[in-house]
Amino acid sequence: MLDLITTARLTLRPFASDDIDAAHAWFSDDSVMEYTPTGPDKSIDETRRRIAGYQEHQSRHGFSKWIVIERSTGQPIGDSGLLVLKDEGFVDLGFRFATSSWGKGFATEVGRAWLKAAFEMHGLEALGAFVHPQNVASLRVLEKLGFARLRAGTAMGMEAVFFSFEKMAGSLE
């Protein structure tokens, strides 16, 4: 089972219980969580439950949201990964970063890594994503990754734009 992804600048791995304090820094940040359906975590216990949910998802599916660590500093800077969204009918690619890591291309970097892992390691045929229509940076990242814009709608009670990426020969080069 895949349990580590490295890119030029980042290391991604499943969340561990000792990541809770570091992760709470961005999960509780109003700016980071502004366009997230659940909003910011109001307590460390909410972050603990969120990470426990990711760990359970990891056990069940072999993938989940993982912690993202900047290789040059060893510091956790965000999370990214794949979640099965049964109500939406797709496996979702998501990413979020501490504000100090915004604008550095990390979302595109982890997105490319997860596309490769989804198709080559997990045998998925397609991924979906949804983004609040005012989250311009995330909209751009998905378009840069080659996701196709499908429609506007509602996801998890939030206004959203839906995207899809289907595996094609040579699409990950």
Residue 72 CA to residue 126 CA, distance in Å, equals 32
pLDDT tens digits in sequence order for the chain, 173 residues long: 579 999 999 999 999 999 999 999 999 999 999 999 999 999 999 999 999 999 999 999 999 999 999 999 999 999 999 999 998 899 999 999 999 999 999 999 999 999 999 999 999 999 999 999 999 999 999 999 999 999 999 999 999 999 999 987 445 54
Overall number of domains in the chain:
1
Residue 52 CA to residue 33 CA, distance in Å, equals 19
The domain in which residue 16 lies consists of 5-166
DSSP per-residue string spanning 92-103: EEEEEE-GGGTT
139: CATH: 3.40.630.30
Question: Which pLDDT belongs to residue 171?
Answer: 52
Confirm whether 173 is domain-assigned. no
Confirm whether 30 is domain-assigned. yes
Residue 173 CA to residue 169 CA, distance in Å, equals 9
